[in-house]
Chains A and B, each alone.
Chain A
Amino acid sequence: MGDQITKDPASFISHLELDQPDKTFLDSNELIINMGPQHPATHGVLRVILKLDGEKVLGTECVIGYLHRGVEKIAEHRTYTMFNPYVDRMDYVAAVSNGLGYCEAVEKLMNVQAPPRANYIRVILTELNRLASHQLWLGTHALDIGAMTPLFYTFRDREEILKIFEKYCGARLTTHAFRIGGCLYETYDGFEQDVKKFIDFLPPKIDEYEELLTTNRIWVERTKGVGKITAADCVALGVTGPVLRASGVKWDLRKAQPYAAYSEFDFDIPIGQSGDTYDRYLVRMEEMRQSLRIIRQAVERIPEGPIMAKVPKVIKPAVGEIYHSIEAPKGELGYFIVSDGSTQPYRIRVRPPSFVNLQALDLMVRGQLVADVIAVIGTLDIVLGEVDR
């Protein structure tokens, strides 16, 4: 993939130059409308300024930051342990993944390793969370496009995952399930049975979702060929996760640079070909099945032993810096942590997948219809809590 950028880089640039006086007078066919920030189909507080020619999108500009809480600044005023719950509030539908990335990054910085049992528990919970995140994505994405039924199906089944989380750590969404060095909680009595019951329960349900959508003519018409993005453009724009894979790049951090216990499991990376909304749908559906495969292997082979590494009560990593990233449900989630040797991080930078992926929106919707903007926002699977941090 040496020469990826075949296009003029200027073609990626998306700003409408609204404040230039000579651009104030639009072509009589052109129209600028505002979508959001309080719009149910933008999955949070995303404002998109659309420049339209009739129904055709000529360009977009995203206005973000409505949910900015200054997480990175807060981190500088907290200890490493105190910052741990904050990361759950970024991608709040995949809080477990956020926690895993942060805990592993600090562990790497301190040069400690979580024990094998903790890693297995982490993998099981993280993959369950990936399923929950994909289910939420599927339900809301289908709802945006006009299919209401999948939402009820996916939320019904997602509930089973949240119940497992609740029994494990007491919280359903912002779980704070992991600690630096391992896990705080041992699995509850019947955890394995609950998880096994769930992985037998879900596959027929995924078939059910597919029955509703995969060959549904309305769904296919609304998604096939919509929001196409090529592999080269994905790489140039830094787009990762299912969006990259649907464009045909077989790249998943769980395989490319395995973390936790992922190197011990057998699973496939599904890829698409055309990079359109329909392919991204298929890729995520297959990812759900692969997640179940991982969970099955993990729960069958879960080792005995301690769940916490020897970590000092006061965490003071040596002076230095680390970048660690994991494959979150939405793409590469990275933490860049700089330590000055004190109990508080000198700087924590979160590399959020949603923020970087959202940059591709403009490229994906140019030349398409307004209604497709909704479909593309849905298929990018962004969470505004993570975009704005």
Chain B
Amino acid sequence: MPEDTKSPTPPSGQPHAAAPAKPAVPATTPWDSPTVARLKSQYGSGVQEAVTYLGQNYFVLDASVTAEALRILRDEEQFDYCVDITATHNPTRDKQFELIWILYSFARNERIRVKTNIADGASFPSSVSIWPAANWLEREVFDMFGIKFDGHPDMKRILLPEGWKGHPLRKDYGIIQQDQEWVQINLGIESGQ
């Protein structure tokens, strides 16, 4: 398992103090590998970060080079299995959405993440033509965050019904607002909670 060999060792050798033991605070370390060198030589400052955290490697790429870099990772670096595509919403940041691809290479038994930041309302090129698996995964990201993928063959909601208002995994989407609205309209009472 290549991941764990690099992970920081837990403090098992030291006797625990009387206070509840605090796990060692892990830190990010630079990630160095031929893959990183390749992307860095190709995109220079487009590779914003290449780090290892808890034994797991990830890139943070500039949004302008990410789509191309993903294709290179599949075609030339053997990352042939797109495990997952997801996003996080960080309303305090300038570029609110972070898109995350989790990739795996069968040949190298290696897992990496690629991340990029995009602004609210911005769309991103679809990777369905790189990994067909991206089809439903991108639809789910659209459904939950409202991020559109350009060139996706069927960009519509997947889990929620067509007429749903809002995108639930945005941080500004309240957990009971939908429920309250339904209760007010259909039952005529103030709140069901």
Which of A64, A258, A312, A351 has a CB less than 8 Å from the CB of B20?
A312
Which of B54, B84, B111, B169 has a CB less than 8 Å from the CB of A109?
B54
Judging by beta carbons under 8 Å apart, are B23 and A110 in contact? Answer: yes
Q: Hey, which chain B residues are within 8 Å of A359, CB to CB?
A: 132-133, 135-136
CA distance A358 to B175 in the complex (A): 28
Judging by beta carbons under 8 Å apart, are A334 and B158 in contact? Answer: no
Judging by beta carbons under 8 Å apart, are A334 and B83 in contact? Answer: yes
Judging by beta carbons under 8 Å apart, are A236 and B131 in contact? Answer: yes
CA distance A257 to B129 in the complex (A): 28
Judging by beta carbons under 8 Å apart, are A70 and B25 in contact? Answer: no
Judging by beta carbons under 8 Å apart, are A112 and B10 in contact? Answer: yes
Give B143-172 as 1s and 0s: 1 = Cβ < 8 Å from A's Cβ atoms. Answer: 010000000011001111100000011000
B128 at the interface (CB under 8 A from A): yes
Residue in B109, B159, B168 whose Cβ sees the most chain A Cβ within 10 Å: B159
How many whole Å from A237's CB to the nearest CB in chain B?
5
B26 at the interface (CB under 8 A from A): yes
Judging by beta carbons under 8 Å apart, are A251 and B106 in contact? Answer: yes
One of A1-9, A139-147, A213-221 contacting the partner: A1-9
Q: Hey, which chain B residues are within 8 Å of A310, CB to CB?
A: 16, 20-21
Judging by beta carbons under 8 Å apart, are A318 and B25 in contact? Answer: yes
Judging by beta carbons under 8 Å apart, are A111 and B102 in contact? Answer: no
Residue in B1, B109, B131 whose Cβ sees the most chain A Cβ within 10 Å: B131
How many whole Å from B48's CB to the nearest CB in chain A?
16
Q: Hey, which chain B residues are within 8 Å of A14, CB to CB?
A: 135
A163 at the interface (CB under 8 A from B): no
- The verdict on A72 contacting B132 (CB below 8 Å), with A238-B83, A318-B26 known, is no
Give A336-359 as 1s and 0s: 1 = Cβ < 8 Å from B's Cβ atoms. Answer: 101000000011010100011011
Judging by beta carbons under 8 Å apart, are B3 and A257 in contact? Answer: yes
Number of A-B contacts (CB under 8 A): 137
Q: Hey, which chain A residues are within 8 Å of B159, CB to CB?
A: 64-65, 68, 388-389
Q: A interface, how many residues as a size bin?
A: 35 or more
- The verdict on A9 contacting B128 (CB below 8 Å), with A2-B78, A110-B23, A356-B133 known, is yes
Q: Hey, which chain A residues are within 8 Å of B49, CB to CB?
A: none
How many whole Å from A261's CB to the nearest CB in chain B?
13
Q: Hey, which chain A residues are within 8 Å of B140, CB to CB?
A: 355
Judging by beta carbons under 8 Å apart, are A2 and B113 in contact? Answer: no
CA distance A4 to B159 in the complex (A): 29
B82 at the interface (CB under 8 A from A): yes
Closest to A234 in B: B81
Closest to A8 in B: B129
Which of B53, B82, B89 has a CB less than 8 Å from the CB of A321?
B53
Give B7-25 as 1s and 0s: 1 = Cβ < 8 Å from A's Cβ atoms. Answer: 1101010001000111111
CA distance A336 to B107 in the complex (A): 23
A170 at the interface (CB under 8 A from B): no
B86 at the interface (CB under 8 A from A): yes
Closest to B160 in A: A65
Q: Hey, which chain A residues are within 8 Å of B54, CB to CB?
A: 108-109, 111, 320, 322
- The verdict on A113 contacting B10 (CB below 8 Å), with A10-B153, A323-B113 known, is yes
Q: Hey, which chain A residues are within 8 Å of B70, CB to CB?
A: none
Which of B83, B106, B135, B175 has a CB less than 8 Å from the CB of A249?
B106
B62 at the interface (CB under 8 A from A): no
How many whole Å from A117's CB to the nearest CB in chain B?
15
- The verdict on A258 contacting B1 (CB below 8 Å), with A72-B144, A112-B10, A112-B23 known, is yes
How many whole Å from B15's CB to the nearest CB in chain A?
11
Judging by beta carbons under 8 Å apart, are A356 and B136 in contact? Answer: yes
CA distance A2 to B76 in the complex (A): 8
Interface positions, chain B 86-144, Cβ under 8 Å from A, are 86, 88-89, 100, 102, 106-107, 109, 111, 113, 128-133, 135-137, 140, 144
Closest to B115 in A: A321
Q: Hey, which chain B residues are within 8 Å of A258, CB to CB?
A: 1
Interface positions, chain A 22-72, Cβ under 8 Å from B, are 64-65, 68, 70, 72
B180 at the interface (CB under 8 A from A): no
Judging by beta carbons under 8 Å apart, are A356 and B144 in contact? Answer: no
CA distance A349 to B115 in the complex (A): 15
How many whole Å from B146's CB to the nearest CB in chain A?
14
Judging by beta carbons under 8 Å apart, are A238 and B106 in contact? Answer: no
Known: A347-B169, A355-B136. 13 other contacts (CB 8 A): A65-B158, A73-B173, A73-B175, A109-B54, A110-B23, A235-B106, A236-B133, A237-B132, A320-B54, A323-B113, A334-B84, A347-B88, A349-B86
- B positions within 8 Å CB-CB of A: 1, 3, 7-8, 10, 12, 16, 20-26, 28, 53-54, 56, 78, 80-84, 86, 88-89, 100, 102, 106-107, 109, 111, 113, 128-133, 135-137, 140, 144, 153-154, 157-161, 168-169, 173, 175
- A positions within 8 Å CB-CB of B: 1-2, 4-5, 9-10, 12-15, 64-65, 68, 70, 72-74, 77, 108-113, 235-238, 249, 251, 256-258, 263, 310, 312-313, 318, 320-323, 325, 332, 334, 336, 338, 346-347, 349, 351, 355-356, 358-359, 388-389
Task: Write 24 A-B pairs (CB below 8 A) sorted by A numbering.
Answer: A2-B107, A9-B132, A12-B132, A13-B153, A15-B154, A64-B158, A64-B159, A68-B159, A74-B175, A108-B54, A113-B12, A236-B80, A236-B133, A238-B82, A251-B106, A310-B21, A320-B28, A336-B86, A349-B84, A351-B86, A355-B136, A356-B133, A359-B135, A389-B159
